[in-house]
Amino acid sequence: MSVQDPYWLSQGVQLDKASSVPFYQQLKDLLLEAVRDETLQTGDRLPSERQLSEHLGISRLTVRRTLGDLVNAGRLVTQPGKGTYIRGPKLEQGTRQLAGLTEDLRRRGHTVTSRVLRVLVLPASGKTAKLMRLGPEDEVVLLERLRSVDGVPLSIERSYLNHRLCPGIALRDLAVSLYHILQETHGLKIPKAEQTYEAVGAGRKESALLGVTEGSPLLLCERIAYTDNGDVIEYGVAWYRGDRYKFHTILLGSDPGLNALTSDVTT
């Protein structure tokens, strides 16, 4: 159902007026339960604030508070002039998978597109030069892209590439998989990367590109990727929408056998 509207309410949805649980929390619980049991599914449109208010006998302010909380939590999405819809589950990427975003999500049936925002060849300097172990005579390729999944903006990715290891890459079509180009065109093997994660708020640039309000939660990811020779090929920074993306990892205990099999995991 692409248009849910009164259907869900017709299934006997009611609030417990004798309960001590606040109405906005009861409504939130009812909506989340309907999603869990698939009465409401991804893409379904919710009844309007007026319909919910009149059917449940509560104020529109209470309804608005509930829907606002669920929008902020990433469970609903509001389209101005169209209504409020059930948002799909967050996209998930394993932290132990060394693959580009494109390969990882396409393997799971998603459509990934990229828009190149800028490509520059610059002298290595500052923090970038230090992290990539480069001198002032070395050059880096700055590549910045907006990545979208299934038509929805997901992340801004900024990569600094060691130009010596991938000469001429700035002239290529970089709206496709970067790691595929590095591996297939430039013959680079990239067996290892280090990543760190930090919660940040969206600034003016991020909010405009990602379609979120300023201050919305983002996941900031910094990556340093190495070739099989130990050279740093990429220093990358990416801003992911907190309502659309999550990372998954597995932490192991002290069993020597397990640690031997997964030596890249530390606890």
**Within a domain: 105:** no
Q: Which residues of 130-169 are buried (b: 16+ CB within 10 A; e: fewer)?
A: eebebeeeeebbebbbbbbbeeebbbbbebbbbbebbeeb
How high is the pLDDT of residue 108?
65
Most confident of 2-16, 75-89, 244-258: 75-89
Regarding whether 81 and 24 lie in a shared domain, the answer is yes
Regarding whether 145 and 77 lie in a shared domain, the answer is no
**How far is it, in rounded angstroms, from Cα 40 to Cα 70?**
14
Q: 99 or 139: whose pLDDT is higher? A: 139
Regarding whether 137 and 14 lie in a shared domain, the answer is no
Q: Which two tokens stand for residue 90?
A: 């967050």
**Within a domain: 162:** yes
Q: Are 46 and 32 in contact (CB under 8 A)?
A: no
**Within a domain: 262:** no
Q: Is 106 exposed, middle or buried (0-12, 13-18, 19+ CB in 10 A)?
A: middle
**How far is it, in rounded angstroms, from Cα 63 to Cα 50?**
9
Regarding whether 121 and 184 lie in a shared domain, the answer is yes
**Within a domain: 212:** yes
Q: Are 236 and 222 in contact (CB under 8 A)?
A: yes
**Within a domain: 225:** yes
**How far is it, in rounded angstroms, from Cα 200 to Cα 221?**
10
Give 75-110 pLDDT, tens digit per residue.
787 877 788 888 766 544 444 444 555 666 677 677
Range of the domain at 69: 6-86
Q: 222 or 95: whose pLDDT is higher? A: 222
Q: State the pTM of this model.
A: 0.61
Average predicted confidence (pLDDT) for the chain: 81
Q: Are 153 and 118 in contact (CB under 8 A)?
A: no
Regarding whether 221 and 120 lie in a shared domain, the answer is yes
DSSP per residue over 166-213, as a string?
STTGGGS-TTS-HHHIIIIIS-----EEEEEEEEEE--HHHHHHHT--
Give 180-206 pLDDT, tens digit per residue.
899 889 999 998 888 888 888 888 899
Regarding whether 121 and 54 lie in a shared domain, the answer is no
Residue 116 predicted with pLDDT over 60: yes
How many structural domains does the chain have? 2
Say which CATH number the domain at 60 has.
1.10.10.10
**How far is it, in rounded angstroms, from Cα 162 to Cα 132?**
8
